[in-house]
Amino acid sequence: MALLAFMVLGLGPVAWGVITSLTPTTALTQTPPDLSLSNFSLDNYVDVLVTRGNLPDALLDSAIVATLTATLSLVLGSVAAYALSRLRVPGSNKILLAVLATQMFPGIVIAIPLFIVFSQLRLVDTYVALAVTNLSFTLVVVIWIMKGFFDAIPPQLERAAAVDGATTLQTFRMVVLPISLPALFASGVFAFIESWNEFFFAIILTRVDIKTAPIAIAEFSGQYQTLYGEMLAAAVLASTPVIVLAIIFRRFIVKGFVEGAVKG
Amino acid sequence: MADVELVGISKAFGPVEACKDVDLRIEDGEFVTLLGPSGCGKTTTLNIIAGLEEATSGEVRIGGRLVNELGPFERDVAMVFQNYALYPHMSVAENIGFTLRLRKRPKSEIAERVSAVAETLELSQLLERLPRELSGGQQQRVALGRALIREPAVFLFDEPFSNLDATLRVRMRGEIKELHQRLGVTSIFVTHDQEEAMSISDRVAIMRLGRVEQVGTPEEVYARPTSTYVARFVGSPQMDILQGRFERTDGENRYRVGEAAFVVPDGAVAAAAGREVDLGIRPEHIQLGAGGTPLMIRVVQPLGPMTYVTTAWDEGGLTARLPGMTAHQPGQVVPVSLAAENVLLFDRESGRRIEWRASHG
């Protein structure tokens, strides 16, 4: 029963969105709206993808920013986490808490300073500005997940590799990284999705050259009318890649989060 | 093949001194065990020999060569770890062959040597399995195989049996001993299990608070412990150490502990030379029913080939080991005496053993 309620709550809006995206805007805006199956068409999809044609570019921009964010998060986050887990860093617990504390600021507080910084650096409206900004919240989570995971790897494994004749780099590459794949996938997918969905900083830090999917979707809501059909068609299209990603890596993600949680 | 020499090895972790001035010489082909309770510095000492920890001061020599500055691999040592430390994502064959892969040996050579080692350790059927698909004993063998394939100058074992059940532990003990007899490679073994140490080693080094308390053959450390610490640590049941004083009654020397008094030889009294001494006696040297001081039996533990009989009184207690099954009952009062020539004396203040047979016997 609870499960049913949960499914209605969770999937209801998604179903509503999909139905809306398949219904022409004229049928949606009449009173009462006509949601009958006979109206269903792919016109809205054709519109956002071909006729109006602004979505493909937005999806590409989103993909670039999200990939950049995920890659940088993984590279920086896993190295930082490895150092925090393995090296005797003085005050490493305080560093970890400080990292977490950066999340206490609401985005709105840093939005304007951030804009000023990026405009001074002439980085407004670039992929780098968005990726670096997204990094500020994805990196934290990646560091925490990976640190928990590395802590759970017995240090004897690295010692055994050293005795077997592996250099530090070989140990990291041939022993630590392969074991850490689930956690890397989990945190990588997490960073990708966070970045993909990010709206607030994207609308502040981009203008013309770059437009990520959430911004493009929002633009269907204009001053005089809102193109609900097109908007939802774009939303469905924008959601698909992350849903597919989550399904493909589902097993890894669960494993990664669970194993990272063994010793937090 | 090589000898190993530690000269004045000390290691401090911040304010904690894990090893203090450890001197130890292990001959080529010898099997030496570092024995002690947890925190005595035995694993740290082993890690320093392996090159996994750096000594704060002192020298490590392997085969006459100073190796302080060398990494674990260049020292030509192989190590078996407490939790086996098998690479979980590699098959048995890959685990064993990893070191050769790192050395970029040709695939055919790796396969050949892996299968030879696997044969020795009866792992041939398991080469494609992952470590998590193996039993504890099999994992242990893979860890051993990973060390064997190196054909190292020195084997290092860090409590390799502590995760195995008692039956398997005894079996693996036999296998390692046999392997050592066959290969004759210098081996250093760390354990907190005195029985394991005694059964497997040529010599045992007993450690306490970062220092080596005594080094000797199993027979030496058992029969002639240098201190009460070694005396208590080695042997099961523990050696009984009584706190009393000498007296002379009826023309005989006795050691009195409260109501109990045990006849002791003149030589022992002479060696004590007026110092306060504790008296130590092994369970097999306590005699029941052959005259002596009457004591009440508290506990009887029949084990089959032998029986432990514990007597106790207000100021002390003795546990005798008697052969076979006996008819003793708790509550029974029996005369107890000590095999006088096997009595050990310890200086009460320092805990050091006082030699009395050699000079005064």
Per domain, the residue ranges of chain A are: 54-211+234-261
Q: Which residue of B has its CA nearest to A161?
A: B99
Nearest Cα neighbor of A129 from A143, A140, A117 is: A117
* Residue B217 Rama label (left phi>0; alpha psi -120 to 50; beta): beta
DSSP strand pairing (B4-13 vs B154-158): unpaired
Higher pLDDT among residues A109 and B94, named by residue:
B94
Length of chain B in terms of residues written: 361
Pick the residue from chain B with its C-alpha nearest to A169: B102
Number of H helices, E strands in chain B: 10, 21
Q: How many residues does chain A have?
A: 264
- Cβ contact, residue pair A165, B99, below 8 Å: yes
Please tell me which residue of chain A has the smallest CA distance to B88.
A179
Asked if B210 and B41 count as a contact pair (C-beta separation under 8 A), the reply is yes
User: Whole-angstrom Cα distance, residue B219 to residue B207?
Assistant: 17
**In chain A, which residues touch B (CB < 8 A)?**
154, 156-157, 159-166, 170, 174-175, 178-179
Shortest CA distance to A128 belongs to which of A215, A238, A205?
A205
Most confident segment among A48-62, A87-101, B49-63: B49-63
Per residue in A152-195, pLDDT tens? 888 889 999 999 999 888 998 899 988 888 888 888 888 888 88
- For A89, half-sphere exposure in the C-beta direction (CA atoms, 13 angstrom radius) is 14
Is some CB atom of chain A closer than 8 A to the CB atom of B15?
no
Indicate the residue of B72, B82, B86 with minimum beta-carbon distance to A163. B72
The tokens describing B222, both together, are 């058992």
Q: CB of B73 within 8 Å of any CB in chain A?
A: yes
Quick: pLDDT tens for B256-314.
Answer: 999 999 999 989 999 988 899 999 999 999 999 888 999 999 999 999 999 999 999 99
Tracing tokens 């095999």 back to the chain, one arrives at: B339
C-alpha distances in angstroms, A264 versus A95, B176, B306? Answer: 14, 38, 51
Residues from chain A contacting residue B77 (CB–CB below 8 Å): 163
- In the prediction, which pLDDT does B287 show? 94
pLDDT of residue B306: 95
Phi-psi region of A143 (alpha: psi -120 to 50; beta: other; left: phi over 0): alpha
Instruction: Report the C-alpha gap between B191 and B82 in whole angstroms.
Output: 10
- How far is Cα B350 from Cα B199, in angstroms, rounded to an integer? 29
**Cα three-residue angle A66-A72-A76, rounded to 5 degrees:** 150
Nearest by CB to residue B71, choosing from A156, A162, A174, is A162
Q: Do B83 and A165 count as a contact with CB atoms less than 8 A apart? A: no
Among A156, A178, A179, beta carbon nearest to B81: A156
The tokens for B333 are: 């009062």
Q: Which two tokens stand for residue B43?
A: 């694993």
Beta-carbon separation of B79 and A163 below 8 A: yes
How confident is the model at residue A249, as a pLDDT? 79
Q: Using the beta-carbon criterion (under 8 Å), do A163 and B87 form an inter-chain contact?
A: no
**Residue B89: exposed, middle, or buried by beta-carbon count in 10 A (0-12, 13-18, 19+)?**
middle
Is the bond leading into B305 cis (omega within 30 degrees of zero)?
Answer: no
- B18: nearest Cα among B37, B35, B36, B41: B41
- With an 8 Å Cβ cutoff, is B98 touching chain A? yes
Among residues B106, B132, B108, B135, the alpha carbon closest in space to that of B122 is found at B135
Q: Give A160's contacts in chain B (Cβ within 8 Å).
A: 79, 81, 85-87, 146
Chain-wide mean pLDDT for chain A?
83
**Of residues B85, B87, B103, nearest to A159 (C-beta):** B85
pTM (two decimals): 0.78
Size of interface A-B (CB pairs under 8 A): 54
A156 CB neighbours in chain B (<8 A) are 81-83, 85
Q: Does B14 touch chain A (CB under 8 A)?
A: no
Start-to-end C-alpha separation, chain A: 34
Q: Which band of pLDDT confidence, cut at 50, 70 and 90, is reported for residue B358?
A: very low
Q: Do B52 and A163 touch (CB under 8 A)?
A: yes
Indicate if the pLDDT at residue A31 is higher than 80: no
**Longest CA pairwise span in chain A (Å):** 76
Query: Chain B residue closest to A164 (CA)?
Result: B99
Nearest to A162 among B52, B82, B87 (CB): B52
C-beta atoms of A162 and B73 within 8 A: yes
Alpha-carbon distance B112 to A63, whole Å?
A: 48
Min Cα distance A47 → chain B (Å) is: 49
Mark yes or no for CB contact B85/A164 under 8 Å.
no
Residues of chain B positioned with their CB less than 8 A from the CB of A157? 85, 87
How much is the pLDDT for A262?
A: 38
Predicted confidence (pLDDT) per residue in A34-78, tens digit: 777 777 778 788 777 877 767 888 888 888 989 999 999 999 998
Contact A156 B103 (CB under 8 A): no
- As a whole number of angstroms, the distance between CA A158 and CA B38 comes to 22
For CA atoms B224, B225, B227, B232, give the dihedral sign: negative
On whether any CB of chain A is under 8 Å from the CB of B130, the answer is no
What letters, b where the CB count within 10 A reaches 16 and e where it falls short, cover A119-140? Answer: eeeebbbbbebbbbbbbebbbb
Class in CATH terms, A54-211+234-261: mainly alpha
